[in-house]
Amino acid sequence: MSSRYDVLVLGGAGVDTIVYVPELPLPYADSYMIRPGIETRAGQTGDFVALGLSALGLRTHHLDMIGDDPAGDLVRAFHRDRGIGLTEVPLPGGTRRAVNLVSPDGRRLSLYDDSRSQESDRLPEDLVRSLAAVSRHAHVSITHPCAFALPQLREAGLSISTDLHDWDGENPYHEPFAHGADIVFVSATALAEPERTMRRILERGRAEVVIATAGAEGASVLTADGLVHVPAVTPRAPVVDSNGAGDAFAAGFLFGRLTGEDLDRCALTGAVAGAYACTVPATASDAIDRAGLVEAAAAALTADADGARVRRVTDRAPSAHLGAGRIIRRGRPRSGRTGTSRPCTS
């Protein structure tokens, strides 16, 4: 039976308030006068992964708990205006909120409002099962309700991905996600020993591939066959903000995976999508489309003067079907502002 959705995104819907600051860390002062100022917009990790996947032509649906409040209206409008399907479950504590401090060089510090969530928050099991039954793949945000949805997704036979974000490798909260997904993304930022953590995920869970992103240093991809380093891609426009780059990387990687690409080229499409996100201001919501991804990936393969990317990532350009407007249908597996251009993947 064919699936209605290529990807079911669970969790990660919310609203961010973007505050541009003169530097990070921000020195103590009674007050600051800032420009371009403060702006509130919808778009947290699940929203941006869904946006990235949809922009690349994958049939995407988003499921999450959202409040009956103005912030929830922003989330609903975000999906409606971009043609992304949304199934919402009432969130009694109100829509999730965060404040992002953004420095002139595009770095970000996020402050998450943890008061919105309650221990009893759940995604209804029957609803999860019904959406999983018509989906090929599930991308699961690391929010509390999503941890309880993992068993239903596994029962449905979907492949599962998750992003552990800035996990330190020790916090047990992340372990159900780390050990319950087939594809695991994680930022290397807080990992004392990234490779050791990646190997532990591979050994203790069901993961087939673990990807650790490290910003301008690129990313590492670990499978049972070994560890491969993927160089970062230099954006084709000035870097203005790293907000959403990790979500874009995940979307680009999953696009490659779901269109039949090998892991090397999945990593390349992820790096290209992440680099594009670094050129988008935090106050905007945009993602690279399929044609742009194919063009930028081809350019990235020839950009390295020493040919390192060609040797380490792929020995040929992305295969033709990347830009052919078709998606391979396969059975479910069992299991602010510097004006500079620099590499950016997360």
With respect to residue 145, please indicate whether it lies within any of the assigned structural domains: yes
Q: At 107, which CATH number? A: 3.40.1190.20
Q: What is the tens place of the pLDDT at every residue in 244-302?
A: 899 999 999 999 999 999 999 999 999 999 999 999 988 888 999 999 999 999 988 87
**Cα–Cα dist 48/283, whole Å:** 13
Q: What is the tens place of the pLDDT at every residue in 86-116?
A: 999 999 999 999 999 988 887 889 999 999 9
Mean pLDDT of 326-334: 33
With respect to residue 76, please indicate whether it lies within any of the assigned structural domains: yes
With respect to residue 188, please indicate whether it lies within any of the assigned structural domains: yes
Q: What is the mean pLDDT of the chain?
A: 88
pLDDT at 31 over 80: yes
Residues of the chain with pLDDT > 90: what percent?
75
Q: With contact defined as beta carbons under 8 Å apart, do 254 and 158 qualify?
A: no
260 or 243: which leads in pLDDT: 260
Residue 201 corresponds to which amino acid? Answer: I
Mean pLDDT of 127-134: 98
Torsion region of 5: left, alpha or beta (phi above 0 gives left; psi -120 to 50 gives alpha): beta
Please count the structural domains in the chain.
Answer: 1
Mean pLDDT of 300-308: 62
pTM for this structure?
Answer: 0.87
With respect to residue 321, please indicate whether it lies within any of the assigned structural domains: no
Alpha-carbon distance values, 69 to 14, 31, 74, 95, 119 (Å): 11, 30, 9, 7, 20
In this predicted structure, what is the pLDDT of residue 313?
A: 38
With respect to residue 346, please indicate whether it lies within any of the assigned structural domains: no
With respect to residue 155, please indicate whether it lies within any of the assigned structural domains: yes
108-112 sheet: strands from edge to edge: 38-42, 15-20, 97-102, 108-112
Q: How many CA atoms lie within 13 A of 278 on its CB side?
A: 32
Q: What is the tens place of the pLDDT at every residue in 179-232?
A: 999 999 999 999 999 999 999 999 999 999 999 999 889 999 999 999 999 999
In this predicted structure, what is the pLDDT of residue 327?
A: 35
With respect to residue 331, please indicate whether it lies within any of the assigned structural domains: no
With respect to residue 336, please indicate whether it lies within any of the assigned structural domains: no
Residue ranges making up the domain that contains 242: 5-26+34-315
**Cα–Cα dist 195/181, whole Å:** 18
pLDDT band at residue 318 using 50, 70 and 90 as cut-offs: very low
Mean pLDDT of 167-186: 98
In this predicted structure, what is the pLDDT of residue 344?
A: 58
What token pair was written down for 87? 């199934």
